[in-house]
Structures are given as C-alpha cells and as structure tokens.
Structure 1
Amino acid sequence: MSQQQVEASAATPSTAEGSAEPAPRSPREIRLVMIGLVVAMLLAMLDNLIVGTAMPTIVGDLGGAEHLSWVVTAYTLATAASTPIWGKLGDLYGRKGTFLTSIVIFLLGSALSGLSQSMTQLIAFRAVQGLGAGGLMVGVMSIMGALVPPRDRGKYQGMFAAVMALATIGGPLVGGFITDHLSWHWTFYINLPLGIVALAFIVVTLKLPKVRSNAKIDYIGAVLLTAGITSLVLITTWGGQQYAWGSKQILGLAALAVASLIAFCYVEQRVEEPMLPLGLFRNLNFAMVSLIGFIVGFAMFGAVTFLPLYQQTVQGASATNSGLLLMPMMFGMLVVSLVVGQVVTKTGKYRIFPIIGTAVMVGGSLLLSTLSTDTSRFASSCYMVVLGAGMGFLMQITMLVAQNSVELKDMGVASSTATLFRTIGGSFGVALFGALFNSRVTATMKDLLHGKAAAMGSGGKLTQMSPEALRHQDPTVQDAYHHAVSNGMHTVFLWGALISVVAVAASLFLREVPLRGAGKPSGEQSLEAAAV
C-alpha cells in the first residue's frame, strides 16, 4: 500500500481522508455545498435527454445521418470508461480538485459541441463531454461520502432521487423548447451557466483536506479496464442493431472484453495501488450491493426505454412530452426514496429496505408484464408507480451500503464502482430487452398478418413503426402492431421480473453493519461545542 501524505493543518485528525468517518459539518455548510453538487448532477443527467430531443434537427443541419448513433455512443463510451478512473484519481489526489476538473472538461466539451460544424466534430466533442460527465456522478457521490457520515447521509441522498426524476421528466421538455424556440446549439450551451454555478459553489463552499500521494497511477490497469468496459458497451450498443449477435464484430468484441477483464484482474492483484482494488469484493455487503445495483440499472433502463413506446403506440399518448409519460414511475421512486432516507437517518437501520425494494421491483415487473391492448392508462400508471417504488427503496441505499463498506480513503472507488455496475447493467438491460422485444414483435406481426408484413411500408423493419407512421396504416396492421407491442412488453417485463429475483436473493445476504457516525452528535452540535 502506498504512503499518503495528508495535509490537514486546519482540521482535526478526524478530517483526514483516510479516517473512519467524515469530520462533523454544520447543516448550513452541507446545504451550500449541496447546491453545487445537485447542479453538477443535474448537468450529467439532463444532457443526453435534452440532446436526444434535438437530434433530428441536428442531423438536418449538419448532415451525416449515417453517423447519428455515434453522437450518443461516443458520450456513453467516454462516460462509462472514465468513471472508475475518476473515482481512483479522487482517492489519490483529492476529491475537490478532480471534481472541479471534471466539471471544466464537461463544460469545454459542451461549448465545443455547440460550435460543431460537422457531425465528425460533434462526435469528437461529445466524447470530451462524456469524459467530464464520468467524473460528475462519481464526484457528487464521493464528496457526499466525505462530507456526511453514513448515518446522516440518507436525508441528503433523497435529493438526488429528486434530481433524477426532474431530469427524466424535464429533459425532453427543455430539449424540445430549446430546439423549437432557439437553436440546437443551445442544447449544449445551456450547460455553461449551470456549470459555472456549480463551479462557483464548489470552489467557495467545499472545504476538504488536501491530499498528496506518492503512489503511481495504475496505467496498465486503467487501459485494460477501459478496453473491457468499451467492448461491453459496444456489444450492447451494436448487438442486434448494426451487427448480428453472431457476427465476427460482436464475437471479436466479446473476446476482447473477456481477455481485457481477465488481464485486468491479474494486474490488479500485483500492482501497488490498483485502479480497482479487487479485495473490496471480499466484503460481502459491497459485492451484493454491486450485484443489486447492476440489476436495478438493468430493470430501470429497460423500463425507461420501452414503456414510452407502449404508451405512444398502444395507448395513443403524445410523443411530444415523452418525459411526462414516465412521471408515475418517477413519482413512486422519488417519494419512497425520500421517506427511506429519513428513516435510515433516524434509525440507522437499512438492511430491510433492499429486501423490500427488490421484492416490490419483482411485483412491479410482473404487473407490467400484464399490459395489453385493453389496459387503461390509469392501470398502467399504477403499475409504474409500483416499479418506481421498488427502485426508490434501492437507488440510494445501494450507494449508501457500498460507501459504508469501505474506508474513507476508498470512497471514490466505491462510488465509481457502484455507478459503473448500474451503468453497465443499464446497457445490458436495453440490449437484452431490445432483442427480446424485437423478436416477439416480429413473430407476432408475422403470425397476425399471415406473411403480409410488407404491407406496413416500413421496409420490413417490423419493430420500428413510429406512432406517426402507424396512423397511416391499414386498421388491420394497426391492430396487429398494437397486439405485437403488448406481447413484446409482456416478454420484456416477465424476464425483468425473473432477473429481479436474483436481486431479491442477493439482498437476503446483506448484513446489518452499523452505519458510521451512528450515535454521534450531529454536525451542528459538534460545531457549536467547538465554537469559541
């Protein structure tokens, strides 16, 4: 283990970043820092949702429609690949500095993306943006872990659930408004004033001990982990879309992913300061919440991807404000997350919530698997609330348990690992559910239309019928497509429920390890006692 030199002349010994728990902070100090953290998290979550709405306009202006998918893929790849690196850099060289650096890189990428004159430039600058975004989420969570003891963290982490709900609902609305009334360039420029606010609050209000480390960065581990993550994301992005699952491209990426990750595990056991200490997974709680986080990402992104499609095509909902279609699920997640955070803070107990949450998630998936052409909007909304409630029990608790399972010096690695597992889970969820959905829709259409699928006029792509195109089809085709989408939803959520059972089993292995900071005076009391 490398020797870290901690400069904390103005702080008590408990403020050292390698200590067992954060130094006491006043509620006012935490609230001020939280403004910057919340704005930074909003930046990371809003971006893709806002840009997604503007993509048709961007393609019309810049051309290069054949490279459209790379605008999203470049951002996603850079974000996923850089996430664990940002976490480790924060642990080694200080969380404040690395967090501010990630914000600056994100804003630079945003400004350059807005100035893009070609699709190639936009893709390159989106990668720069994604590189910064990888540090935003990790920085928010690890700084929160450094500021607030786990016992008190629940009441603040509920705010992040609110930000997630706001971003999911408001992102498409903001993107549509900007595109219609300003220009697509402002879908990127909007990040600049928000980022400046985040920078200002973090610079002025965040006080953390300075950290200098003599450890050498694990460059080989970073390269191998980046190669493995990149391969996995490309497999889930391209598989079944650009390339067949059995194609040489997908199989080659799979081989590269396996080889890279095996080599990474070999290297990490031999370097002085590993990029991702594998010993963390010997902690049962850390291993189990990583698995649960993967499955939560799996279920959540699958639902977010396919529920709006069902609501627009089968239930006739408007696609204009697509973010509003997910409001019931986000409402359930937000309310439960806020309540759970307060209960954890008051009682210090958390083990029961992952058990309840995973069970409720299974129930919500089973309810959604019953969606049919006759299901009312009220009923489907109630089912979404149940699924959202299950996620609300889990979203913040998984991060809390992961952070409570490591020493404070590894807070960045714990936060980045939890974030990475959720991200990779989401990628796999969209890919697997997409393959299942497409297969079931195609089979149903062929059965119902008796080989007359070409009548759809969609080039034979039976699963890509837009609501607008569907309205111009023969009533027989419309009815067949409604049944096909309903059958596809049944398959997706039935498999989602089955996979969520694994999360239920994992939650039963969690142990009730006391949260650090339990039974201690609050930050405000400690500050008042020390005041002169």
Structure 2
Amino acid sequence: MDRTHVRSGPGKETNRKMVTLGLLAALFIGALDVTVVSTATPHMVEELSGLGMITWVFSIYTLTTCVATPIFGKLTDLYGRKSVFITGLIVFVLASVLCGMAESMTGLIWFRALQGIGAGALTPVTFTIIGDLYPGEQRGKMQGLFASVWSVAGLLGPLVGGYFVDYLSWRWIFYMNIPIGIVSLIMVFGFLHERFEKKRKRIDYAGAIAFTLGISAMLYALLSGGESLPWSSPVIWILFVVALAALLAFIAIEKRAEEPMIPLALFQSGVMNVSNLSGFLAFSISTGTTIYAPMWIQTLLGYTATKSGLMVMSMSLAWPIASNLAGKLMYRLGAKRFIVFGSLLVLLGSLWLMSLRIESPFWSITAILTVIGFGMGCLSTPQTVLIQSVVGWEMRGVATATNSLMRSLGQTVGVAIFGVLFNSHLIMHTKAELAGGMQAVFVAIFVIAMLNMIAVVFLPSARKIAELQKS
C-alpha cells in the first residue's frame, strides 16, 4: 500500500521547543476564537444588521470545522503534518482578515465558514504533531499542557473581546489573529523538519464527498431544529434522511477505498471505540453544563452575568489543573484509572447538579462545576494519549481527528437534545417553568454521565493497553 511516512530528522534537527511554542500559539488563537466572538455580537449586529442571521455566525463555524477535521486528519497521514498544518493556519488567518473586513452579515457568515475550515486543521493536526514529537510519558505531559489552552482561552476570551470592543472595534477580535498566526507560521515552518518517503498516494474523493454531505446535512438539521425551523418541519426530516443515506454510502465507499478517508480498521480497536464514545458523551455533558448552569445562576438565583461568569470560571480552572496532573501521572498510575476516576467525578458532579433546587446555595454550583471540570480534565487528556499510542504513525492523524470530531458532535447533539428538553417545559416562561426545564436538562446530563461511566469501564486493562501500544 502506498503511503508517505514522516519522521523528525535526520538531516536538519527539529527544534522541539520552538515548534511547541508555535503550536501553542496556533491552538490558542483557534481556541480563543470560539469564545471571543460572542462578546462582540451586539456590536456586529449594530454595524452589519442581520439580527436574524447572527446565530449562523457561530453555527457555520461549528459545521465547517466538524466537516474539515477528519479530512485534514487524513491528509496529514498522506502528505505530512507540516504542510497540512501550515495550509490550515494560512486559511484560518486569511479568513480572519476577511471576517474583520466584512461589510454585511452574509459576508461575515461566509468568511466564518472559511475560518472554520482552517480551524479544522489547527486542533487535530497540532495534537498529532505533539504526538509525533514527544514519546511515552513526555507525550502525556505535553497533551495535558496543550489541553489547558482551551481553558485559558475560555477565561481570556470575554476579557480580550470586551477590551477590543470597548476601546478599538469588534473587527480587531479577528485582526489579532494575524500577528499570532504569523509567529506560529514562522516557528513551525522554520523549525519543524520532516523526512518523506515519496510514494504515490490516492485521495479518497468519493469518501470525502459522501462524508461532507452526510455530516453537513446532519449538523444543519441539528443546528436549525428548534431555532430557524421546528423539529417537525419536513425540511428537518429530509435533512436527517439525506444524512443517513450519505453516511451509509460513506461506509460502503470506505470498505473499498485504497486509502480510505477514515479507515474502518480504526473501529476494530476497543481503545478507539470506547474513547470516541466517551468523548462524544463527556463533551455533551461539559457543553450542557456550561450553558445551563450560568442560566440557573442568573435567572433563578438573580446574580449578575459577571458573578455568574466568575462562578463558572471554577470549571475552566479545574479542567487544566486536572489535565496537567493526568498527563504527568498517567504513565505511573495507569491511563484507564485516570479515565475511570475522571468519569466517576463527572458522574458525581452530575448527580449533585441534578439535585439542585431554587433554594440551593450559590456556592454549591461553584463546587459542582469544579468537580465536573476536574473530572473532564482527568479523562480527556489520557484518552488523547491512548488513541495516539495504539495506532501507527500512518494513522495517528486520522485517529486524532476522528476523536476530535466525536467530541464536537457530542457538543452539537447535546445542545440540540438539551434545547428540546428545556423548551418543552416553557409555556409562560415563569420561574417555575424555567427551573423545571433546567432540571430536566440536568437529569439528562446525569443519564449521559452514567452511560459514559459504563462505557469507560470497558476500556482494556492497563496490561492489555500496554501490549497494544505502538509508540
């Protein structure tokens, strides 16, 4: 089978420190972009109009990122990490410039779609390169560090966005990506050196088209249902039918493809299957918690958005702390132990969340979010390291990207399910109805946490995982 293999060295030596800093910079602007845009929403609407389309500024970015992620992941295995990463970074930065120059809401949405395509390369390819550069225990430490970037971006996003909006212009939330992106480009291009075995490659165009159609139709239905279109709309059902047909066709194509976009052999691995299922479930929990816990704090307890943000910050702080601990200790104590322990914390935090009442003290929500955030950090980093360890170099990119895709799908599907549950309780929008709707969401989060707990128990034993590890 024709493949291109990439390694760091010999010849010019890769400067791991410089490359790592460049990757951190790229991941930071990708993560920051997810949070900073929401701060500028009112000003965008005021200048560009198009209030009815504002949700698509966020939704289209999610859609194109999900579609692009596994495609870029496969391309890294075919053509090397460096070229794909640089291509994605250039697309992201150029799209950021276009977003900052947008003169209409329609234009901004199209440019955000392009930006999402670039973002589809930043996260999975960054984690793949780190998996290549750092072996064994070092890989765990670095993956924990890089996972922390998302939490730091979550903390800084509202502050950075608020500063630019108040003192400059909302357009600078996009322009600020230019200098950071250039620094990242110079560091990775100049200091990451790969050696290729040049061989013929076949791109799975049919698989990519079927996958793009299927995922796009499914995500469009999930993002539009209950918002721009009712769930009972024929359009929504047609989209789901198209998604199902396209994804079934995708599976059939992958069985025959010489270089499948997502090799079905990945799904013969128990580690991959459990990690992907857990990623899907766990990240739906984290998204639901970060949406509805602040709503509970503000609408039922009567606290300001600022105080609500400070309380939710506990989750953003606990997550990176746990990620770093897990990355440093997982090789001594066992990855499965950390994943099971983290899942147990998420389950206990979800149980506590489900028990909330209107009279519950405000500190209890901070404690709940801390427990869930710490649990998420304990389970997410070891899963990434395990996935990269049980596949060979030639499938590490697509394996990492597939896991990223499952996490993103979990967030999107979770938001859709939680929205249906919440809205089903609202008639007059009374305080009691709001409380009932959010409690229904919290019950669903607890059920998902139980399913996640059951799933991770089926991870292979530490001894079996050690036998499966290839690098």
Q: Flag whether TM exceeds 0.5 (same fold).
A: yes
Equivalent in the alignment of 2:446:
497
Q: Summarize the alignment of residues 22-421 of structure 1 with structure 2, pairs less than 5 Å apart.
A: 29-210=15-196, 212-320=198-306, 323-345=309-331, 347=332, 349-421=334-406
Q: CA deviation at 1:366?
A: 1.0
SS in 2 for 1:209: strand
Task: Tell me: CA distance 1:265–1:344, structure 2 relative to 1, closer, same or farther (3 Å).
Answer: same
TM-score, reference length from structure 1: 0.84
Q: CA deviation at 1:213?
A: 4.0
Q: CA deviation at 1:487?
A: 2.5
Equivalent in the alignment of 1:424:
409
User: Residues 314 and 370 of structure 2 are in contact (CA less than 8 Å); yes or no, is this contact kept in structure 1?
Assistant: yes
Residue 485 of structure 1: which of 434, 445, 448 is its match? 434
Aligned AA (1:168): G
Residue 509 of structure 1: which of 437, 458, 470 is its match? 458
Q: Would you say 1:11 and 2:4 are equivalent positions?
A: no
Q: CA deviation at 1:374?
A: 1.6
Task: Tell me: CA distance 1:358–1:44, structure 2 relative to 1, closer, same or farther (3 Å).
Answer: same
Aligned AA (1:35): L
Instruction: Answer 1 or 2: which has greater helix percent.
Output: 2
Moved more, 408-417 or 324-333: 324-333
Unaligned stretches of 5+ in structure 1? 16-24, 447-452, 454-461, 463-479, 521-532
The CA distance in 2 between the partners of 1:325 and 1:256, in whole Å, is 42
TM-score, reference length from structure 2: 0.94
Task: Tell me: CA distance 1:315–1:213, structure 2 relative to 1, closer, same or farther (3 Å).
Answer: farther
User: Residues 345 and 371 of structure 2 are in contact (CA less than 8 Å); yes or no, is this contact kept in structure 1?
Assistant: yes
The CA distance in 2 between the partners of 1:232 and 1:151, in whole Å, is 38
User: Residues 310 and 486 of structure 1 are in contact (CA less than 8 Å); yes or no, is this contact kept in structure 2?
Assistant: yes
Structure 1 residue runs of 4 or more that deviate by more than 6 Å after TM superposition: 515-518
Equivalent in the alignment of 1:18:
none
SS in 1 for 2:444: helix
SS in 2 for 1:351: helix
Q: Point out the structure with max Rg over C-alpha.
A: 1
Q: RMSD of the alignment, in Å?
A: 2.2
User: Residues 371 and 486 of structure 1 are in contact (CA less than 8 Å); yes or no, is this contact kept in structure 2?
Assistant: no
Task: Tell me: CA distance 1:332–1:515, structure 2 relative to 1, closer, same or farther (3 Å).
Answer: farther
Aligned AA (2:341): I
User: C-alpha deviations, 1:305-335, integer Å up to 9, x for none?
Assistant: 1122112222333225765342111222222
The CA distance in 2 between the partners of 1:361 and 1:237, in whole Å, is 26
The CA distance in 2 between the partners of 1:323 and 1:159, in whole Å, is 24
User: Residues 8 and 192 of structure 2 are in contact (CA less than 8 Å); yes or no, is this contact kept in structure 1?
Assistant: no
The CA distance in 2 between the partners of 1:492 and 1:355, in whole Å, is 24
Q: CA deviation at 1:37?
A: 1.2
Moved more, 394-403 or 420-429: 394-403
Task: Tell me: CA distance 1:418–1:8, structure 2 relative to 1, closer, same or farther (3 Å).
Answer: closer
The CA distance in 1 between the partners of 2:380 and 2:444, in whole Å, is 21
Q: CA deviation at 1:225?
A: 0.7
Task: Tell me: CA distance 1:4–1:438, structure 2 relative to 1, closer, same or farther (3 Å).
Answer: same
User: Residues 8 and 133 of structure 2 are in contact (CA less than 8 Å); yes or no, is this contact kept in structure 1?
Assistant: no
The CA distance in 1 between the partners of 2:135 and 2:111, in whole Å, is 38
User: Residues 172 and 323 of structure 1 are in contact (CA less than 8 Å); yes or no, is this contact kept in structure 2?
Assistant: no
Q: CA deviation at 1:5?
A: 5.0
SS in 2 for 1:243: coil
SS in 2 for 1:415: helix
